[in-house]
Amino acid sequence: MVCLRGIKAHKKCYLAVEEPKHYHEANEDCIAQGGTLATPRDLNENNDLRDYAQRTSPGSKDFWIGVTDIVKEGQYVDVNSMPITYFNWDRSKKQPTGGKRESCVTLSLASQGKWHDEVCRSLKKYICEYLIP
């Protein structure tokens, strides 16, 4: 696969989508295009995603990423239901704050790429990732 749009980093192609969607619609859109919602696995990936999102969409506040605790409150998993080992919560804002109400995670440009939990039915822009073989 060639990364025609978006950016190439960490053996992945990242593509920001400007049209805001609910979390599940965003993930389905990524899957329909052969990818998933982007899931940063370490600080480098997180910072690359943040920088890319800022360049692509300078006025935006936040983007959905592929992290939720929908199934079990407080137990965060990726889009393949695998446990997440890297977190970048915005501790200055006491994140995650939402309890059962907020189960989907955004990468917040307003907080320099820190993560916030949000209501999954909120409309937000999002970033898909595609593995490059």
Give the pLDDT confidence of 94-126 residue by residue, as tens digits.
Answer: 999 878 889 999 999 999 999 999 999 999 999
CA 95: distance to chain centroid?
15
How far apart, in whole angstroms, are the C-alpha atoms of residue 80 and residue 57?
27
Output DSSP code: residue 48.
H
Strand ranges, E, within the chain? 7-9, 12-21, 36-37, 62-68, 104-108, 114-118, 124-131
Calculated CA dihedral for residues 20, 26, 32, 33, nearest 10 degrees: 60
Select from 3.30.420.40, 3.10.100.10, 1.10.420.10, 3.40.50.300 the CATH code of 7-131: 3.10.100.10
Mean pLDDT (whole number) for 11-35 = 95
pTM, to two decimals: 0.94
